[in-house]
Chain A
Amino acid sequence: MLQGAALPEVKAENTRSITGSDLLLDALEREGVEVIFGYPGGAVLPIYDKIYSSKILHVLPRHEQGGIHAAEGYARISGKPGVVIATSGPGATNIVTGLADAMMDSLPLVVFTGQVATGVIGTDAFQEADVLGITTPITKYNYQVRKAEDIPKIVKEAFYIASSGRPGPVLIDIPKDIAAAPAEMQEEAEIHLPGYQPTKHPNYLQIRKLIEAVSKAKKPVILAGAGVLHAKAMHALKAYAEQQKLPVIHTLLGLGGFPAEHPLFIGMAGMHGCYTANMALSQCDLLINIGARFDDRLTGNLKHFAPHASVAHIDIDPAEIGKNVETLIPIVADAKEALQELVNGEGKPPVHDEWMKQLEEWQEEFPYHYDQTSLEVKPQKAMELIHSFTNGEAIVVTDVGQHQMWAAQYYRFNEANRWVTSGGLGTMGFGLPASIGAQLADPKRNVIAVLGDGGFQMCTQELAVIREMNLPIKIVVLNNQALGMVRQWQEIFYDSRFSHSKFSSQPSFVKLAEAYDIKGVLIDTKEQAENELKHLLTCNEPVLIDLRIDPNENVFPMIAPGKGLHEMEGVKP
């Protein structure tokens, strides 16, 4: 890694002058970038020439979409911005899904796209696309570089914007001639963003109000979202919940922010959340939202959401407060700072024995359930086995669909940065590439990619990267030979008219893995799963497990569209 203002190493045979691309790589090194997920092409050739002699690890996905999802997985686990490079035109349009996904789930990315030379921009030149226009609504910010000298400043601003406040993707479009233009190395750049000053410190009066409200509450509950993870506020959350004896509910994306085995943990709420969590939200009198955005999959019908509650909302993004749910105590702040203030306030804890007793009774009476006697592999059983064989300590990455919900329900996360899933956008194809980024961010930890047979086929090509880099990722395809979540909705809401949701034929996933020189294993009985999974999940090489599950299994509980959280179906066997 380069130190200070040192120039990038110029190889002996490379006597060409310093260019915009040198400034770019220098800026990346100054930001401490460890890995770039990139795919070359005409417009980024000048940049790739410099990457050739750079010390930063470069990962070549087999599709730009795979590259950007890998960068998201990296960002999610490392907490640092994921870096992506794509060429102009089709390279840039291939990353659109990943940008939208990162925008929705507030993941920090810094994405570079090549652009045609400045002289031909606007002429429909070969591989030209209006990348700024296309990406404006799905980036936190975007730039087009006009002068090579601006690169250091722009890169520095981009990393700052991507990773501060509410994180998100920032895109930098670099015309080819700018990347190749002669330029001079510069001193440390200074950023200038007068319109961007995220509020980190909470308003004292609002904190007092919340402390007061907590002390008077009879049925208080905390709803903790991914904001807790972004702010690294796990310890502060635990300290606060324990000090005030407040029960904690998680959103899908918040899992791991509070230990699942903690006596104060209730579970996940939302469309497929647990009974107790959804009932607690429906009946609480004080709802303390920390870093969640009251997404519709969490709230159900807003008319019935938390009807008896005063709502307090801690969020770094003021626009989220009051957006969906009327809020009595708004606290614009970094979750960690706000929680620390709350702990320091040493308020009087609520008197809420009856409420806690009620929650406990619900927990006992209405746990997640499935048919444990079945000889087929029930997906829930599979997730329980995966949990126990990895001691609950693995990083679990999922795709989107039923398997995602089973993973969220049955893998009990006790720590942060163990859970990677596409929540807001619900992007199929996310899981496999995201697991690559997750593994690179935490090379020593066991990474389990829990995928559906549908979504696995959307980015399968990234198996090549897993082999090439020898990443010991365990790919578990929960194979129900269907687009299970779609099939479930058609069964329940469309009178079992299974329109294009069942695969009539499928490739052999085992052979497919073998074609990539990855070990592939088919498991189709419960007994086999119990006997073989442990070894497969703990070995030190990549493995693909084609796990045949009961194709008719549905995810429960479930809240039908338009229904309130208290109107769950499938609560009891």
Chain B
Amino acid sequence: MRRIICLTVMNRPGVLNRVTNLFSKRNYNIESISVGHSELEGMSRITCVIHVEDEKASEQITKQLNKQIDVIKVTDITDQSIVARELALIKVQSTPQTRNELYSLIEPFRASVIDVSKESMVIQITGESEKIEAFIELISPYGIKELARTGTTAFPRGTQRSAPPKQVSIL
């Protein structure tokens, strides 16, 4: 199962190394990891998307992450109401003949063209991973020359519809 885990960490040297090391040491499968500053000075936010066998495995990951000295907070937000976004840049082959066709695909996805040359154009798209995947599938027949994805970054919505956030550790 796919889980989205959010971490708040102290912005210290080596912290990302410790987090990724933990994934490889414990043989966890990461789909993506995205890191950047948070609203708090000296703190960064990490969003990891992982694949695990069951809830038990994801609980174990959460606990192991929580144990790290520089990790302030860990939440598995998969079951919460969240906003999750990913950005992708796609360089796709385009000729004067196909360009218009491509534009017509781009529009419904609210993607944008940020660079155009004779043989290609660069499209930027943001959204949930599924949307990005659907778009990539759609335009791949035109010939994707380069593709870069940032991985998901996410956090819980202001108002939670359903159950309260999952308790991480048993204190």
Contact = CB atoms under 8 A, between A and B. Distances in A.
B148 interface: no
Given A132-B17, A318-B171, A319-B67, 14 more contacts: A136-B14, A136-B17, A136-B21, A137-B21, A141-B69, A144-B13, A195-B9, A195-B69, A196-B69, A318-B66, A318-B170, A319-B66, A322-B56, A322-B60
B67 A132 contact: no
Contacts of A142: 14
B138 interface: no
A119 interface: no
A207 to B, nearest CB: 13
Interface in A160-218: 161, 193-196, 199, 203
A507 interface: no
Contacts of B105: none
Interface in B21-36: 21-22, 25
B136 interface: no
Interface string A129-162: 0001100110011101000000000000000010
Interface size classification for chain B: 20 to 34
B151 to A, nearest CB: 22
B14 to A, nearest CB: 6
B10 interface: yes
Nearest to A201: B171
A195 B72 contact: yes
B169 interface: yes
Interface of A: 132-133, 136-137, 140-142, 144, 161, 193-196, 199, 203, 317-319, 321-323, 330, 332
Contacts of B60: 319, 322-323
B59 interface: yes
A161 B64 CA distance: 16
Interface string B158-171: 00000000000111
A195 B171 contact: no
Interface in B1-58: 9-10, 13-14, 17-18, 21-22, 25, 56
B69 A161 contact: yes
Contacts of B25: 137
A317 B72 CA distance: 16
B76 interface: no
Given A137-B21, A318-B67, A319-B67, A194 B72 contact: yes
A332 B72 contact: no
B63 interface: yes
Contacts of B22: 137
B171 A332 contact: yes
A196 B60 CA distance: 18
A140 B63 contact: no
Contacts of B9: 195
Contacts of B69: 140-141, 161, 193, 195-196
Nearest to A166: B67
A443 B15 CA distance: 41
Contact of B171 (A199, A317, A322): A199
B97 to A, nearest CB: 50
B43 to A, nearest CB: 9
Nearest to B13: A144
Contact of B170 (A161, A194, A196, A330): A330
Counting from the closest, the 10 A-B pairs by CB-CB distance are A319-B63, A330-B170, A195-B72, A318-B169, A196-B69, A141-B69, A137-B25, A136-B21, A137-B21, A319-B64
Nearest to B74: A195
Contacts of A193: 69
A317 B18 contact: no
A322 B59 contact: yes
Given A140-B69, A195-B9, A195-B10, A332 B170 contact: yes
Contacts of A144: 13-14
B71 interface: yes
Report which residue of A132, A140, A195, A330 has the largest number of chain B beta carbons within 10 angstroms of its beta carbon.
Answer: A195
A133 B17 CA distance: 8
A531 to B, nearest CB: 52
A572 to B, nearest CB: 39
Contacts of A133: 17
B169 A195 contact: no
Interface string B135-154: 00000000000000000000
